[in-house]
């Protein structure tokens, strides 16, 4: 088992941010009380991309569908009832989004002793 650990490659910091974001968002929608703050921020961040590909109407992440969105990247349209895929991880990778500051972690490429602090300035993706 120890020999396998030494053969593992480092995990990309941005991927760890994505995993953390989807975990917190899913947990909040399934077990949290009140509004899902992560879903609200994602709705703001990606509002220009949140359109149904079938009918063209605006869609949003609600607490009732947030876990499905975060875990499966699937959304349903309130207007036409169709399900569709939303490329959340891909869109997030096109931004400069960081949920955490760099921290010391055995699976990350860079090691640094600064504690992690959540980000509050979420960048809006741009169309390139």
Q: How far apart are the first and last CA of the chain?
A: 44
Report how many domains make up the chain.
Answer: 1
Residue range of the domain that includes 22: 12-93
The model's pLDDT over 37-95, given as tens digits with 9 standing for 90+, comes to: 889 999 998 999 999 999 999 999 999 899 999 999 999 999 999 999 999 888 888 88
* Confidence tier at 99 by pLDDT (50, 70, 90): confident
Within a domain: residue 66? yes
> For residue 11, what are the β-bridge partners?
108
Task: Count CA atoms within 13 Å of residue 2 on its CB side.
Answer: 0
* Confidence tier at 109 by pLDDT (50, 70, 90): very low
Q: How far apart are CA 35 and CA 25, in angstroms?
A: 11
Return the closest-CA partner of residue 29 out of 59, 71, 91.
Answer: 71
Within a domain: residue 86? yes
Within a domain: residue 20? yes
* Confidence tier at 112 by pLDDT (50, 70, 90): very low
């Amino acid at each position: 088992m120890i020999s396998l650990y030494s053969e593992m490659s480092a995990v990309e910091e941005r991927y760890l941010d994505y995993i953390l974001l989807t975990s917190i968002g899913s947990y909040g929608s399934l077990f949290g009380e009140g509004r899902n703050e992560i879903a609200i921020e994602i709705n703001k961040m990606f509002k220009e991309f949140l359109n149904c590909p079938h009918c063209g109407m605006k869609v949003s992440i609600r607490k009732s569908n947030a876990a499905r969105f975060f875990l499966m990247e699937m959304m349903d349209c309130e207007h036409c009832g169709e399900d569709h895929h939303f490329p959340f991880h891909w869109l997030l990778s096109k931004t400069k989004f960081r949920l955490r500051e760099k921290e010391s972690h055995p699976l990350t490429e860079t090691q640094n002793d600064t504690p992690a602090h959540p980000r509050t300035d979420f960048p809006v993706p741009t169309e390139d």
